[in-house]
Amino acid sequence: MIIHLKNTVAEEEAQRIAEELQAILIAKEEIVLVTPSKLQELPAHLTSKVSKAVAVPNDIQLASKLYMNETRSITIGDTTIGGSSNNTLMITGPCSVENEEQIEKAAKFCVEQGVKVLRAGCYKPRTSPYSFQGLGLQGLKLLAKMRDKYGLKIITEVRDASHVDDVIEYTDIIQIGAKAMYDHGILRRCGEARKPVLLKRGFGSTLQEFVQAAEFILSGGNDEVILCERGIRTFETNTRFTLDLCGVAFLKEKTNLPVILDPSHAMGYAYGVPDLARACVAMGIEGLLIESHPTPKEAWSDAAQQLNFDEYAELLASLKSVAQAVGRKLV
Amino acid sequence: MIIHLKNTVAEEEAQRIAEELQAILIAKEEIVLVTPSKLQELPAHLTSKVSKAVAVPNDIQLASKLYMNETRSITIGDTTIGGSSNNTLMITGPCSVENEEQIEKAAKFCVEQGVKVLRAGCYKPRTSPYSFQGLGLQGLKLLAKMRDKYGLKIITEVRDASHVDDVIEYTDIIQIGAKAMYDHGILRRCGEARKPVLLKRGFGSTLQEFVQAAEFILSGGNDEVILCERGIRTFETNTRFTLDLCGVAFLKEKTNLPVILDPSHAMGYAYGVPDLARACVAMGIEGLLIESHPTPKEAWSDAAQQLNFDEYAELLASLKSVAQAVGRKLV
Amino acid sequence: MIIHLKNTVAEEEAQRIAEELQAILIAKEEIVLVTPSKLQELPAHLTSKVSKAVAVPNDIQLASKLYMNETRSITIGDTTIGGSSNNTLMITGPCSVENEEQIEKAAKFCVEQGVKVLRAGCYKPRTSPYSFQGLGLQGLKLLAKMRDKYGLKIITEVRDASHVDDVIEYTDIIQIGAKAMYDHGILRRCGEARKPVLLKRGFGSTLQEFVQAAEFILSGGNDEVILCERGIRTFETNTRFTLDLCGVAFLKEKTNLPVILDPSHAMGYAYGVPDLARACVAMGIEGLLIESHPTPKEAWSDAAQQLNFDEYAELLASLKSVAQAVGRKLV
Amino acid sequence: MIIHLKNTVAEEEAQRIAEELQAILIAKEEIVLVTPSKLQELPAHLTSKVSKAVAVPNDIQLASKLYMNETRSITIGDTTIGGSSNNTLMITGPCSVENEEQIEKAAKFCVEQGVKVLRAGCYKPRTSPYSFQGLGLQGLKLLAKMRDKYGLKIITEVRDASHVDDVIEYTDIIQIGAKAMYDHGILRRCGEARKPVLLKRGFGSTLQEFVQAAEFILSGGNDEVILCERGIRTFETNTRFTLDLCGVAFLKEKTNLPVILDPSHAMGYAYGVPDLARACVAMGIEGLLIESHPTPKEAWSDAAQQLNFDEYAELLASLKSVAQAVGRKLV
C-alpha cells in the first residue's frame, strides 16, 4: 500500500508509522510510505493522518498505473519523454568506447543526424575474462569530453557496484545493464541519485521482477526510471535473444514508466535491426536504442549487430514516417 | 542439394537417379530432386542431365533464399501476396464457429470492413477434454455457406490427420495449427493438395524446425506455403506467449516464403493486440491474422484475446497508415 | 467433477444427466461422468443417484491423487508396475528398426539381460523430410516377429493419426511421441484401445497440459496410461533437452499415473546417460527407457545418444544397487 | 591457450609476453598465462620459454578437463571433496539468519546430524524492496559465533559488490548467488581471495556462461571454485525452477570443478526435495545443499521449500544408502 501522509505529520511520527507498518519512507514534498503489498486496508487509527492511500495487488506499487494513471515525464537536457509528450527519444552509438577517434566519429554522427543522446559502454559485462573488458574510467572521461565538445547527452552502463559512483558522476542517464538488473548495490545507489536511470530487463527475468527492480530505485526516492526491453533468452538460437513486444504491451498497460527498446541486442545481427526498429516505433514507445559504429566489422565487441552510419541514417529516415503514422515524434 | 533435371531425362531415369541420391522427386513442369543437404557436390556422371543444381548448408532447401531469391507469390482469390506485390493480407474472424448467427455476423463484418478472408476454427486443439472441442464438419459447412453467400475466402485449422481431407475440401487456405506443426500425416496430405497452406509455428519449435516442416509440404509438390508466427512459449507468463519478431526478421532474410503474423494468440489479451498489430505491419509482412468476435466476453473459446468489432475497425484504420509508412498496402 | 452413478441408474438416464452437466460418460462396471472442473458442487436433485462425487480444482481429474490416492497398477505381460508393487520396468532397444538382423540382435540382448520390453521406432517423427523416416508397417511386423520368437513385449511409437490403428494392432504398449502429445486423433483412438499407453511429454508442454492429454485417454475409457518425461526444451543447447525431474516430483505428488523416464532423449549424448539413469531410478519411478544399439555409430537415427551393449549391461548392474537403496526392484 | 612459463623466465619478461599475447598472468609457483582461446598455436619464438601449453576450443580454459584431467580437490576444514576422494559434502541450514535463537537451533541440528557445514543467508537477493532483506553484517556475526561455538564451517551468500569484503572475511565458503553470477565486482574480489568459492549458476545462464564465470575467479588466481546447479528458469511454473541434471552430466564430463547441487531452490516445495536429493546423490556429485529450518512455516523467506528437522534427518539416512550404491561417502 502506498500512503501519502498529510503535511501536518511530523517526520518523527512518520518514522514511527513507517516502522509500525514495516514501510519504506520516502521524504520529498510529501512524505510517502510504501508498505508490503499484502497490507490492503489502512489501519483505522491512521486515517486522520493520511491524505491518500492506494492499495495494489502485488509489489508493483510506485510503478503501477493504479497509483499514477499516466506515463511519468522525464526530462533529459531540453527534451522530455513521457507525460503528455508524444516524443520518442533516439539514442545511438557504438557498443564500446574504443578510443578517442572512434568515439568522436560517433559523436559527430549524432550531431549530423540530429540525435541528442550518445551511448557507448566503458565497463563491459563480458561473459569471458579473456575478452576486451572496456576502458573503464578512461572511457567515462572520453564520453564526458564528447558531451562538452558536441553538446550531447551521454548514457553509459554500470556493470557492478564497485564503480557505480563513477558512472553516476560522469553520465547523464545511468544505464543498468541486463546482467545487473538484480544488483541491490547498484539499485540502491541509483535510488539516491538524482539522474534518470535506464533499467534494462534481465534476459532471464520476468516482467514482474523487472518492474520490481524499478521499485528499488523508485522507493529510494528517484522518480526518473525508464524501462528498457532488450530481448529475453528463449530456446531459439538463430537470433541472439527474443525481443519481447508482448511484454512491452504489458508494461505500457500496467505501469507508469516510460519504455525504451533496444532491438540491436535482441537480434544480434545487423540485418534484422531496421525491420525490428520500425516495429518498435510502431508500438508507440518513448525511445529507441540502436547500436551504430563507424566500422562495425572492426568493433572490439558485438561486431555483428552494429549498423554502419549509412544504414543508421537510412533507418532514421524511415522511422520518421512510422512515428508519424502512430502519432509520435522522434526527438 | 536441389537438382533440376533437363527435360530430356525420362521419368524412369529420373526415378533411378532419385534412388541413387536418396532424393525426393517432385514432378512438375520440370522434374526436381531434393537430396539430403549433406550432398554438397553434384556427382560428375550426372552433370549432363542437370539444368540447375543448388547446394544449401542445411535442410532448409526449397524454402531457402539461396534457392529462390525472392518471396514466393501466392494467390488467394483475386488477391496476390508475396512476389513483386507489396500486399499485406487482412484476415479476421472469431476463434471458433459457434453457430450460424455468430459466424454470419462475422462474415458481414468482414464484408463491411473490406476484409476478404474469414477465419474461424471448427476442430479446436483444446488442451482439456472437458472443454468445447469445436463443431467439426458442421462448422466447415457453415463456413462454406458464408463463402458462397458473401464471396469471402475461408481459412480454418486442421487439428489432426483424422479429418485433414475434410478441411482440405471445404477451405480456401488450409491452416495447420501450432500443435500440429510436426504432424507428418497432415504435412504429407497438404503436400499433395493444391491449395495454399498456412503453417503455424509450434510454440516450442525452433525456426529451423518450423521451416523444415514447410519443406515437407514443398517437397510433396505444393508450392504455396505461408509461414505464420503466433508466439513461442517462454518463461514469461504475464502474456500468453511471446511473439517472436526477431524470428520473423530471420525468416524474411533466409527464406522465400511469405510470412503472416498472429498477434492475438501471442498476446492472449485484447488490450495488447492493437499495438502489436501495428508493430507486425511495420515489419513489412504478407498478412495479419486477428481474432475478432461480435461479443468477445461470450465467446466459447479464447474469450480474453478477441477484439470486438469496434476495436477491430479502429485498429484497421490505424494499420493503413502504418502500412503506407513502410511502403505496403493492406488488402 | 467426477461423478459415479449408482447401479440403479439406467443408461438412458445416465446419458440425460451427462448432457445436463456437459459431462463425458465412461461406461464400465460403474457409469462415471466427468464434468468440466468448474462444476464444484453436485446439483441437489442428483444426490440420490450418485454413489461418489469428487470435485477437483482444475482439469486434472481422473489422473488426480484427489480422485484415486495411489498410483494406478498396470500389467504388461506377467509384470506389474504401480499399485502396491515397487517395480521399476526396464525397457531398451534401438531408436529405429533398421532391418531384421539389427532388431534381432537387440531382441537377443534384451533376453540376455533379463529385460522384458523391447523398444524401437517404425514411424520416426523426423524434423526433416530429407532424413530416414522409418520402416513403417514393415518395421511393425519385424517387431511382432521378435515378440513371438523371443517372448518379449513390444513398445513402439505412433507418429500421427494416419497409422494409429496399425500401431495399436501390432504393439503391446502404445507409445505416443512427444511431438504428438496434443494429437486428438491419436489420443481418442488410444482412449478406445484396451492396451497400456505410454504418453510422452511434449518438449514444449507444461505439466498441466501433459496430464490433461492423459485425461483425453482416461476419459475415453482406457485406464492404463503411463506418463513419460523425456526432457523439455530450454535455452540450454549443450545438451539436447533438459530432463525435468522437478516435474517428476510434481507428477508423483499430484497424479495417480505411473511415471517412466527417458534420459536418452533428454541428454542426447551417450556420455551422460548412465549418471542420469541412476538419478532417475533414485527418484523412485515405475520404469526406465534407455536407447541401446548393437553399433551406435552406425545407427540410422539418434546415433550420438544410444549406448552400446557393453555400456548398457554395465549400467544395468549399477542400477540394481540404486534401486535397492530406494526400496525398489528392477523388472 | 594456457601457457606455463619455465621458472627461468623473469617476471618482467613474463609481463611482456602476457602483453604481447593479450593474456592474463597468474603468478603462483609457476607463472601461468591465459590468452583468448582463439590463439590455437604457440608462437614459435616463445617455445623455448614454455614448459607446457594447452589449446582449448573455447573460453572454458582453466576449468576444462582438457587442461586438468581430474576433478580439482578442495579442502574445507578437515574435509576434502574432489580429487581422489569420493566424498559428498552435506550442507544444510535455513534460508536466512533470522535471529540468534533460530540460527543456534540450526547449528545444533547440524552437530547432531554430523553435518559439518552450516548455511544461511545474511544478504538476501529479494526481488521486491518491500520484503525482508536479511540481517546483513549482524547476520554474518551470528554465523561466526556459531562457527566458534559449534566447530562448524560456514557458507553464506554475497549479493553484490558493496559488501563482498565483509562476506569474504566472515565466511569459510563464499557463496556467489545465482543473481550475482555475472557480477565482475564480486568475481574479481573472489579471484583475489584465498577461500573456496561456491558459484551458483544464474537461472537464465547457459552452461558455457556459468563455467566462464568460474574462469574469472580461476584466472584471478583462486583455484578453489565449486560449481552449484540450483535450477534454471523454463516455461514450467508448477515448480519454482527446473533442476538441470543433464547440465550436471555436461559439467562432470567437460570441467575439472567439483559440483554441488541445491534441489531446494530448484523445486521450491518441500514435498519434492527428498526424491530430488536422492537423484542428485545418485549422479555422483561432490556435495548437496538442502534448506532446513526449525519451523519452516514461520520462516521469513522461502517458507515453502525448507524441510523441518525430522524430514531432513529421515532424508539424510536414505541418502547414505544411495551414496553407497554409487560408490560415494557422505561427509
Each residue of C238-261: pLDDT tens digit?
999 999 999 999 999 999 999 999
Residues 171-230 in C contacting B (C-alpha not used; CB under 8 Å) = 179-180, 182-186, 188, 202-205, 208-209, 212-213, 215-216, 219
Nearest CA in chain D to B232: D235
Phi, psi for D263 (deg, rounded to 5): -75, -20
Tell me the average pLDDT across D131-150.
96
Regions in chain B scoring below 50 on pLDDT: none
Q: How much is the pLDDT for B192? A: 96
CA distance B34 to B4: 9
Question: What contacts 24+ positions apart, CB below 8 Å, involve C143-147?
Answer: C143/C97, C143/C103, C143/C118, C143/C170, C143/C171, C144/C170, C145/C100, C146/C103, C146/C104, C146/C106, C146/C107, C146/C118, C147/C118, C147/C172
Residue A303 has pLDDT above 90, yes or no: no
Domain ranges of chain B: 2-54, 74-330
Burial class for B269, CB neighbours closer than 10 Å (0-12, 13-18, 19+): middle
- Give this prediction's pTM: 0.97
Secondary structure in 3-state letters for C2-33: EEEECCCCCHHHHHHHHHHCCCEEEECCCEEE
Instruction: Name every chain C residue with its beta carbon within 8 A of the beta carbon of A233.
Output: 235
| A74-330 classified as CATH 3.40.190.10 | no
Residue D136 has pLDDT above 90, yes or no: yes
Nearest CA in chain A to B284: A275
Number of helices followed by number of strands (H, E) in chain D: 10, 15
Dump pLDDT digits (tens) for B19-42. Answer: 999 999 999 889 999 999 999 999
Please name the member of B248, B272, B324 whose beta carbon is closest to the beta carbon of A325: B324
Q: How much is the pLDDT for B316? A: 98
Give Cα separations from B171 to A124, A321, B114, B329 (angstroms).
Answer: 54, 38, 20, 25
Give the DSSP H/E element, type plus range, for residue B80. strand B79-81
| Optimal mutation site among C127, C233, C235, interface A, most CBs of chain A within 10 A | C235
| Optimal mutation site among C242, C245, C265, C324, interface D, most CBs of chain D within 10 A | C245
Q: How much is the pLDDT for A218? A: 98
CA distance D329 to D331: 6
Is residue B244 a contact partner of residue B272, using CB atoms and an 8 Å limit? no
Share of chain A above pLDDT 70, in %: 100
CA distance B273 to B240: 12
Instruction: Report the gap between the CA of D155 and the closest CA in chain C (Å).
Output: 25
Instruction: Report the gap between the CA of A249 and the closest CA in chain B (Å).
Output: 5
Q: How much is the pLDDT for C41? A: 95
Q: How much is the pLDDT for A302? A: 86
**Helix/strand/coil percent split, chain C, to 5:** 40, 20, 40
CB atoms within 10 A of CB C311: 17
List, as one string, the DSSP characters of B206-264: -HHHHHHHHHHHHTTT---EEEEE--B--S--SSSSB-BHHHHHHHHHHB-S-EEE-HH
CB atoms within 10 A of CB A156: 26
Please name the member of B232, B276, B322 whose beta carbon is closest to the beta carbon of A249: B276
Tell me the average pLDDT across D235-261.
98
Q: Does C234 touch chain D (CB under 8 A)?
A: yes
The C-alpha angle with vertex D51 and arms to D50 and D54, in degrees rounded to 5, equals: 85
Is residue A263 a contact partner of residue A239, using CB atoms and an 8 Å limit? no
CA distance D64 to D68: 7
Q: Does D324 touch chain A (CB under 8 A)?
A: no
Instruction: Report the gap between the CA of A235 and the closest CA in chain C (Å).
Output: 4
CB atoms within 10 A of CB A8: 9
Q: How much is the pLDDT for C28? A: 86
CA distance A217 to A199: 10
Please name the member of C123, C127, C219 whose beta carbon is closest to the beta carbon of B129: C219
| Lookup: cell for B237 | 507468463
Secondary structure in 3-state letters for B194-222: CCCEEEECCCCCCHHHHHHHHHHHHCCCC
User: Model confidence at D301, in pLDDT bands (50, 70, 90)?
Assistant: confident
Average model confidence (pLDDT) for chain A?
96
| Lookup: cell for D249 | 552430466
| Optimal mutation site among A64, A184, A201, A218, interface D, most CBs of chain D within 10 A | A184
Give the DSSP H/E element, type plus range, for residue D224. none
| Lookup: cell for D277 | 536429493
Q: How much is the pLDDT for C303? A: 87
Average model confidence (pLDDT) for chain B?
97
Instruction: Report the gap between the CA of B204 and the closest CA in chain D (Å).
Output: 10
Regions in chain C scoring below 50 on pLDDT: none
Dump pLDDT digits (tens) for D172-214. Answer: 999 999 999 999 999 999 999 999 999 999 999 999 999 999 9
Q: Does A235 touch chain C (CB under 8 A)?
A: yes
Dump pLDDT digits (tens) for A60-107. Answer: 999 999 999 999 999 999 999 999 999 999 999 999 999 999 999 999
CB atoms within 10 A of CB D47: 9
Phi, psi for A235 (deg, rounded to 5): -75, -10
